[in-house]
Structure 1
Amino acid sequence: MDKRDKRILEYLQQDASMPVAELAEKVDLSVSACWRRIKALEENGLILKRVALVDRKKANLPMTVFVGVKTSRHSMEWFEAFQDTIAAIPEIVEAYRLTGNIDYLLRLVVPDIDAYDRVYKRLISKLDFTDVTSFISMEELKFTTAVPVSYI
């Protein structure tokens, strides 16, 4: 991994649809050399996939809700049921297992509070929780899918 590979990653994280010829010019490589580097980054798993980012407001999903989940159940059976449950709910776009006072943190995108309430009821109908705490985002201050390449 050299500086050109890192620059390729930086550009692709901003716009994965950039034509290879344009990207090659920006990183001072031939088109074929640039293409080979992109393919190598994909083959070694550093580039997982290329996706389109959807404007949530235009998709009628302007509300972000963070949900903190506590459970008294810490068995693999419960954990697998939890994973299956959240995988089946498309409004849950991120989920993390945490240390500390909250066991899991979920990020949901929904059109309104009524839609969130339906997701909440779907969650609690499937599994037992000790506590479910919701935090409604009032304003998005920063959102990016790009990761820093300086640590590679």
Structure 2
Amino acid sequence: MAARIDALDRKILSELQRDAGRSLEEIAREVGSSKTPVWNRIRKMREAGIIGPSVVVPDPEALGFEACFFVLIRTSEHEAEWQRTFLKALRDRPEVQEAHRLAGDIDYILKVRVANARAYDAFYQALISEVRVHNVTALLSMEEIKATHALPL
């Protein structure tokens, strides 16, 4: 069930999605309100679970993580124990930025960020040594065209 928020909450969320590091005063000015009501609304949205933790988003390429792979995984294993082992392996690897279980021919898709192809191969070898998979296809992203966490509020 979607949380109930009003137009001012949406404006505040839009501003926070743009840059949560700005001062409360700047955000209040942008949404046409004062600091105290904006702070109270932010606090209430945090308490309701609408707003999660505020994080810094570093530039991967500036830090040497120049290769982004999308990894398609098919498995013939669907037992609970296999799934627990697989999910733990994904959670334990910081290279995995996203992991999704899919409907259709592909069972899982991973977004893996590494320095280069050699680093991806090391990741791949470590993963398949821990968990049995039927088929793995790695797709190298040639260019990131759009990346955002912002929701269309």
Report TM bin, short chain.
over 0.9
Separation in structure 2 between the aligned mates of residue 77 and residue 147 of structure 1, nearest angstrom = 35
Separation in structure 1 between the aligned mates of residue 94 and residue 54 of structure 2, nearest angstrom = 19
Listed as ranges, the matches of 1:40-51 within 5 Å are 40-51=44-55
User: Given the alignment of the two structures, is residue 13 of structure 1 paired with residue 13 of structure 2, yes or no?
Assistant: no
In structure 1, the gaps of 5 or more residues are none
User: Given the alignment of the two structures, is residue 136 of structure 1 paired with residue 152 of structure 2, yes or no?
Assistant: no
Counterpart of 2:103 in structure 1 is 99
Alignment TM-score, normalising by the size of structure 1: 0.96
Counterpart of 1:117 in structure 2 is 121
SS in 1 for 2:59: coil
Amino acid at match of 1:51: V
Amino acid at match of 1:18: R
Separation in structure 1 between the aligned mates of residue 138 and residue 34 of structure 2, nearest angstrom = 51
Separation in structure 2 between the aligned mates of residue 140 and residue 113 of structure 1, nearest angstrom = 17
Q: Which runs of 4+ in 1 moved over 2 A?
A: none
Separation in structure 1 between the aligned mates of residue 38 and residue 11 of structure 2, nearest angstrom = 11
- Equivalent residue in structure 1 for 2:86, among 79, 82, 88: 82
Amino acid at match of 1:101: D
Instruction: Report the CA distance between 1:130 and its aligned residue.
Output: 0.5
Listed as ranges, the matches of 1:56-71 within 5 Å are 56-71=60-75
Instruction: Report the CA distance between 1:46 and its aligned residue.
Output: 0.5
Alignment TM-score, normalising by the size of structure 2: 0.96
Separation in structure 1 between the aligned mates of residue 18 and residue 34 of structure 2, nearest angstrom = 21
